[in-house]
Structure 1
Amino acid sequence: MSDQQDVSQQIANRFRSLLIGLDTAKQDLPEDKDVELPDFLDQDRDGRQLLRVEKQAQRDKKLNERYYQNFLDKLQGQLNDEVRHRLAEQLQDTEFLYSKLIGVPPHLAEVLDLMSVKAASIGRIEPLVATIPWLVQDLIKMVNMPKYRRTDKQGKVIPVESLRMALSFLGLENLKLVIPSLVFRRWLPQITDPYPNIKLRLWEHAMGSAQSCKKVAELSGVDVQAAFTLGMFHEVGKIAVTRLYFRLFEEVRRDALREAHEAKMKEEHAALSDVVPSGVALQDLMAKSALNISYLLLDKMAFQRLSMASAMQEVAQDKPLKEMSALAQVLVQGRSYNQYRMLKSARLINIEEAKAFLRGLMMPPGALSALKLADLRHLNLTFDEN
């Protein structure tokens, strides 16, 4: 493996850890070893030298805690083995992932395809959007938010109450950004305890990747709408894996609790309530399956004009950047740049790593300068002042 590949792999692994949680990512960084104090300095919080019997009690407590933690780790490992088995089976069923687990709207691809043609109009996309009730509600809710709402000459708020008004207010160019964003946010997993930040980081990464891809596409002469949409949707595989993992973990734990109760295994039954999902196991599943699942789901969406599936497949296959199609290159460059930004914000990447990582992206001229100044967290919609 070349030095460039090694740096890229380290950054990819660290970023997956960051998706789980900042503390998890920090564990992957070098850290100072704990220094053990000699016995004659063993004191309590009041500075009182501990009696031998007290020290023995503390040691016994630590040994018991260590034994119990090892027991929990063993149970967690057994549960995760079964979760991996069941998850691998369910990942084979693309129709289940598409229709049930993620719930891709039937006319989503048709809406996004239609907006990409020159003859697109609000009147043509309205009946298709109307078939997705939650999207209608989200669009109307969005345009009535304080930051977007309009007022008349007297300063009175003009409420938007219909889909046609919402679509017209936003306009086609903004809708090319808004609809993929609302759809992806709808897909995000809701229950990820004890890692509550997973959905927030997935959202930040999808938005940042989409914005970065859009900017790079503008400088590369690549279809901007396709680049933005692919940047937003490329993490749908991680969503599928994450949803399945937490769902199956609870299912497997319930089965284990029932079996322990029936077998009168009191210690195991009590301990199973303390076993939590494994961030390490989830990272491993993401690394092995997420990109390919994203390709399969995008392929099933069957876009006619925004041909994104083939580019997603190239990324999933980890083709060399130089051998990729233009859209696939934009995805790698955009998502990787956003990973760098998120790691930098969390202080999880040093200057030498950043230089080597960004150098390997072969960005088009001017891209890094433009991205450095870009707001990657918000849609930054534009409206006609009239």
Structure 2
Amino acid sequence: MTEQQDVSQLITHRFSSLLIGLDMAKQTVIEDKDVELPAFLDQDRDGRQLLRVEKQAQRDKKLNERYQQNFLDKLQGQLNEELKRRIAEQLVDTDTLYNKLIGIPPQLPEVLDIMPVKAASIGRIEPLVATIPWLVNDLIKMVNMPKYRRTDKKGKVIPVESLRMALSFLGLENLKLVIPALAFRRWLPQITDPYPNIKVRLWEHAMGSALSCKKVAEVAGVDAASAFTLGMLHEIGRIAVIRLYFRLFEEVRRDAITEAHEAKMKEEHAALGEIEPSGQCLSDVMEQYSLQTSNWLIERMDLKRVMIAPAMSEVAQFLPIRNMQPLARVLMQGRSYNQYRMLKNHRLINMDEAKLFLRGIQMPSGALAALKDADLRHLNLTFEEN
């Protein structure tokens, strides 16, 4: 394995950890060191030498704690193995993932497909969007936000109350960005305790990847709207894996508790109540299944004009970037650049790693300069002056 492949795997693993939590990401960077306890720890807070009986009590306490932790770790390992087995089993059922776990509306692919057509118009899009109630609500809510509100000549806010008004206000070019973004935000996992920041960082990653892909596509001469849509939706598989993980964790733990109760295993029964979802297990299944699941779900969308499925397939197959079609290459470059930016913001990547990582994604000339000061957090929509 080359040095470039090594750093790419390292960054992938580190980034998966960051999505779960900053502390976990730091643990992937900083290696634990064994440090001998200094002699002064054999004293209490007043500096008094501990009696032999006190030393023995402390040793016994540490041994008990170690035994309990080892016992919990063993149970956690057993739960993790069963959890991974059930996740792998359920990920094969693409229809259930698509229709129930994520809940992709049947009309959404039609909406995405109609927008690039030259003859597309608000009149053609409106009846399709109208069949997706949450999208109607989100669009109207969005255009009434303070940053988008319009006012009349007297400075009075003009409220937008209908779907037609919202669509007309945004316009076709903005809708090509807004609709994929609202869809992805709708699907984000909501309950991820004890890792509450997952949905925040996953949204930041999807938005940053989409905007990075759009910039790279503009430099490389690839369709920017398709690049944005692919960048936005390429992590839909990760959403499915995360949702499945937290749903199945409760199921697996509940089954284990029932089994322990029926077998009268009191120690196991009590310990199972203390076990929480494992960040490391979640990171492992995300790295193993996210891209392939995205590939399955995007194929299932059966898009006819927004041709993102072949590109997603190449990325999910981990083809060498030089062998990829242009849109797949843009996705690899855009998502990798955003991973670098997010890691850099949290001081989780050093300069040498960054140089090697960015060199490996073979950015087109001028792309890094275009991305250097780019805002990768906001859509930055453009509107024609009335």
Scaled to the shorter chain, the TM-score interval is over 0.9
| Maintained 8 Å contact 1:113/1:306 | yes
Q: Which residue of 2 aligns with 1:295?
A: 295
Q: For 1:232-243, what aligned pairs fall within 5 Å after superposition?
A: 232-243=232-243
Alpha-carbon distance, 1:146 to partner: 1.1
Q: For 1:284-323, what aligned pairs fall within 5 Å after superposition?
A: 284-323=284-323
Cα separation, 2, equivalents of 1:115 and 1:69: 56
Q: Which residue of 2 aligns with 1:160?
A: 160
Alpha-carbon distance, 1:40 to partner: 5.1
Report SS of the residue matched to 1:276.
Answer: coil
Q: Which residue of 2 aligns with 1:58?
A: 58
> How well do the aligned residues superpose, as a CA RMSD in angstroms?
1.2
Q: Which residue of 1 aligns with 2:126?
A: 126
Cα separation, 2, equivalents of 1:174 and 1:83: 41
The C-alpha deviation readout for 1:169-193, integer Å capped at 9, x for no partner, is 1111111111101100111111111
Q: CA 1:47 to 1:31, structure 2 compared with 1: closer, same or farther past 3 Å?
A: farther
Q: Percent of pairs identical after alignment?
A: 77
Alpha-carbon distance, 1:114 to partner: 0.7
Cα separation, 2, equivalents of 1:383 and 1:45: 67
Alpha-carbon distance, 1:147 to partner: 1.1
| Maintained 8 Å contact 1:41/1:49 | no
Q: CA 1:118 to 1:44, structure 2 compared with 1: closer, same or farther past 3 Å?
A: farther
Q: CA 1:115 to 1:46, structure 2 compared with 1: closer, same or farther past 3 Å?
A: farther
- Counterpart amino acid of 1:79? L
Q: Which residue of 2 aligns with 1:197?
A: 197
Q: Which residue of 2 aligns with 1:264?
A: 264
Q: Which residue of 1 aligns with 2:250?
A: 250
Q: Which residue of 1 aligns with 2:333?
A: 333
Cα separation, 2, equivalents of 1:321 and 1:223: 18
Alpha-carbon distance, 1:41 to partner: 4.7
Q: Which residue of 1 aligns with 2:109?
A: 109
The C-alpha deviation readout for 1:265-302, integer Å capped at 9, x for no partner, is 21111111101111111111112111111001000101
Q: CA 1:343 to 1:87, structure 2 compared with 1: closer, same or farther past 3 Å?
A: same
Q: Which residue of 2 aligns with 1:218?
A: 218
Cα separation, 2, equivalents of 1:198 and 1:145: 25
Pair 1:5 & 2:5 matched: yes
Report SS of the residue matched to 2:29.
Answer: coil
Cα separation, 2, equivalents of 1:224 and 1:354: 26
The C-alpha deviation readout for 1:64-99, integer Å capped at 9, x for no partner, is 111111111111111111111111111111100100
Cα separation, 2, equivalents of 1:133 and 1:86: 33
Q: Which residue of 2 aligns with 1:365?
A: 365
Query: Which is worse superposed, 372-381 or 55-64?
Result: 55-64
Report SS of the residue matched to 1:95.
Answer: helix
- Counterpart amino acid of 1:275? I
Alpha-carbon distance, 1:167 to partner: 0.7
Q: For 1:373-384, what aligned pairs fall within 5 Å after superposition?
A: 373-384=373-384
Please report the TM-score for the alignment, with normalisation by the length of structure 1. 0.97
Instruction: Structure 2 unaligned segments of length 5 or more: list them.
Output: none
Q: Which residue of 1 aligns with 2:136?
A: 136
Q: For 1:9-88, what aligned pairs fall within 5 Å after superposition?
A: 9-31=9-31, 33-39=33-39, 41-88=41-88
Cα separation, 2, equivalents of 1:203 and 1:114: 25
Q: CA 1:137 to 1:40, structure 2 compared with 1: closer, same or farther past 3 Å?
A: closer
Please report the TM-score for the alignment, with normalisation by the length of structure 2. 0.97
Aligned length: 386
Cα separation, 2, equivalents of 1:286 and 1:37: 38
Pair 1:231 & 2:231 matched: yes
